[in-house]
A and B are shown apart, each in its own frame.
Chain A
Amino acid sequence: MFDIINNSFKKGLLTEKFILPQDESSRQIDSAGEQLKKIIHKLYGRSLHLREVDTGSCGACESELIALSNPIYDIQRFGVDFVASPRHADALVVTGPVSRNMALALKKTFNSMPEPKFVITVGDCALKGGIFRDSYYAIGDIQSITGSVVLHIPGCPPEPIIILHNLISFLKQKS
């Protein structure tokens, strides 16, 4: 217990300020967090909940998504969170080239989500199959299962900061 308290004092706050890159107007704002919070509040009431499904990824894309919740990125401060059930989710995040074995599970997950909902693909594999495009077992076409994909975040894997940035720019457009 003492170790923990001691450690907390010594380390202080680890969360990094998040500045929107490539966007002059937002450079003046210290942290994009406030802005994002407002957008999410406007669009979704209080928070944006994501449900993640791995459809055959190599594991690195998930690793980066998990990193978003660590104390450094702390995505929850913006009102964004990953949830355990599709019933609680506003959006579906998909990684991997859609292995045939996952097609049904993906469809079921998507169908269990309440409307309105949308799909985000993370990583090069997720949109068209990426490096696994020519495989006999990758469907590679997530649109045929879930309808449309409104946001694709490229990279192999995309870094957490890139995922955050893309998510925020997208939500800004939407608002």
Chain B
Amino acid sequence: MQAENIIRDLRAKNINPIEVLFLNSMEIEVRINKEDFKAACLFMHTKLSSSVMALFAVDKRQVNGNFEIRCVFLAKEIPLWVSIVISVAEGFLSFDSLACDIYSSALFERQIKEMFGIIPEGNPDQRSLVLHEEVCPEGTLPLRKDFTPVQAVSKKEYQFNKVEGDGIFEIPVGPVHAGIIGPGHFHFSVAGEPIVNLELRLGFTHRGVEKLFEGKTLEQGLKLSECVVGDSVIGYSWAFCRAAEAILGVKIASGVFNTRAICLELERIYNHFTAISGIALDVGFSFPAQFISVLKERVLRLNKKLSAHRYLKGVLSLGFARNIFDKEAVAYMLDELKLIKRDIKEAQGILYGSVSFMDRVDETGILRKKTAEDFGVVGLAGRSSGVSLDLRRVFPEGYLQAGFRLVKKDRGDVLSRLIVRLDEIEESLRLIDVFAKQTDVLESPKINFPVQGHALGAVEGARGPVIYWLEVSDGKIERCKIVDPSFQNWQGLSISVLGNIVPDFPVCNKSFDLSYAGNDL
């Protein structure tokens, strides 16, 4: 399958693109008429067997008087990002909703309505996601270019979906939870013990991140990208760099790639530790929980030793990465990781060896493959349900030579997610070993500012694909769209707990370990 073939087949369906742009070897853009939007998206969805990876609007009124809607699919085999693009004129602010046919588009459509006021015609649920009615008056459309904050406060209240029937009762939890954790509101409907519905209301940590990127230079944007999700500094800044580098036409040297990749794997390892420790803690098995929290601390200290920052801030720059791996540092790191590898094996033995622990996680919180695919669940959560999508394999670069192995399980329960995490840690340790052999960082490349253009950049972060879409004009960021893996995965969580009892919710939650900050942006 080639990019050209996709377009040919699209034409055969009587959908004639206005324009096809080959942006770079990994990205094409198909501009079509607004009427063809739904048909074209459905075609890509089935042809590429891809969920909607991103769907967002861009305010182009200053350029051509229109808004633009972009729907992004991923052709895993080629590999290629395919964007379907339509224009929406100011007087007709709507487009055909995909939500009833491709469920993974539903949340994105709500986002477009919320941020731009463009109506997804036919989407049965058009409630706001992050701008809460109670504090944010109607008519606030922050991502429009002419947005000015509205001050008056509305008194509207959010309507939760109602489950009615004999013996159903509701348990509202949050936004402030008992532990040290991000805020979110969980609305359980329970019949006796089992959960029959769980509705999530998020958005409490909304900070208007996408708007903050606007008007910034690429360097300033990079700095901000490190602060979007605090435990995914490398995932976010690397994805930002990829988008920016695609616009700039900069190719990174292999030494730079290796440095970035080692950092990304370190980040993955400590994030997996957080989740595994959380799973153990939430079933009351505190010894391994504490044991693994010590391992996390060890990785953070290793990060600090390498880069002077526990979360690796300040390592990446456009086209480059700081030279943090001299011989000594590599030796130190490998020694440290050897100890961590030994310890994680022990922790694994303790977890797998406990019958009562295994009983709690086995067959708990099952997310089936079909459901995961329908909802567009990505990353680790998807791989634990049998969805074999990992950007490290789709866009292999250095991972190919390193012999990257994809870890996958099919059952989709808490245990699968635990096993996938443990196996991924092992794979990450192996990858670091390979990459560490060649980290000779070269000269930083010459970059010509200011620049124009737009591009997409993505990496497989600890939770899944982190996607940036950037548009730059005169060296300033015009629009920045971010898709965090948590955005779709939260829905996966809310489905996986159905039929389970409420006390199992925390352990399901930890096994997904989703980000509030990344979802709310």
Q: Which B residues touch A54, using CB under 8 A?
A: 180-183, 205, 516
B100 lies within 8 A of chain A by Cβ = no
Give chain B nearest CB distance to A88 CB in angstroms: 11
By a CB distance below 8 angstroms, the chain A residues around B42 are none
- Cα–Cα distance between A70 and B231 once the two chains are bound (Å): 17
Contact call A109/B229, Cβ cutoff below 8 A: no
**Is B297 in contact with A70, judged by CB distance below 8 angstroms?**
yes
Cβ contacts under 8 Å, B310 to chain A: 64, 157, 159
Q: How far is the CB of B107 from chain A (nearest CB, A)?
A: 17
Known: A101-B203, A105-B204. A72 touches B297 (CB 8 A): yes
The 6 closest A-B pairs by CB, nearest first: A60-B230, A84-B178, A58-B230, A135-B208, A59-B230, A70-B293
Interface membership of chain A positions 88-131, coded 1 if the CB is closer than 8 angstroms to chain B and 0 otherwise: 00000000110111111100010000000000000000000001
Measured CB to CB, the residues of B under 8 A from A are: 130-132, 134-136, 142, 147, 149, 175-176, 178-183, 203-209, 211-212, 223-224, 227-231, 233, 274, 287, 290-291, 293-294, 296-297, 300, 304, 310-311, 313, 346, 349-350, 353, 515-517, 520
Residues on A with beta carbons closer than 8 Å to the beta carbon of B516: 54, 59
List A contacts of B209 (CB < 8 A).
132, 135
Tell me the dominant secondary structure on chain B's binding face. loop
Please tell me if A134 contacts chain B, counting CB pairs below 8 Å: yes
17 cross-chain CB contacts under 8 A: A3-B349, A53-B176, A54-B516, A56-B207, A59-B229, A67-B300, A70-B290, A70-B296, A72-B297, A100-B136, A105-B204, A132-B209, A134-B212, A135-B211, A137-B131, A156-B227, A159-B304
If A53-B176, A59-B231, A156-B313 touch, whether A71 touches B293 (CB-CB below 8 Å) is yes
CA distance A82 to B181 in the complex (A): 12
- Does A85 reach chain B (CB closer than 8 Å)? yes
CB distance from A154 to the nearest CB of B (A): 15
Determine if B175 and A105 form an interchain contact, defined as CB atoms under 8 angstroms apart: yes
Closest to A7 in B: B346
A70 to B346, CA, bound (A): 18
Q: Confirm or deny: A148 has a beta carbon within 8 angstroms of a beta carbon on chain B.
A: no
CB-CB under 8 A from B212, the residues of chain A are 132, 134-135
Instruction: Tell me the bound Cα distance from A24 to B291 in angstroms.
Output: 34
Q: Is the CB of B208 within 8 A of A103?
A: no
Closest to A103 in B: B135
Residues of B within 8 Å of A58, CB to CB, are 227-230, 517
Given contacts A7-B291, A84-B178, contact A157 B208 (CB under 8 A): no
- Chain A, 15-72, CB within 8 A of any chain B CB: 52-67, 70-72
Select the residue from A3, A14, A61, A103 with max chain B CB neighbours within 10 A.
Answer: A3
Measured between C-beta atoms, what is the minimum distance from B509 to chain A in Å?
15
Q: How far is the CA of A22 from the CA of B338 in the complex (A)?
A: 34
CA distance A61 to B135 in the complex (A): 25
Q: What would 5 more interface pairs be, CB under 8 Å, given A135-B207, A136-B142?
A: A61-B230, A96-B205, A100-B135, A131-B224, A132-B227
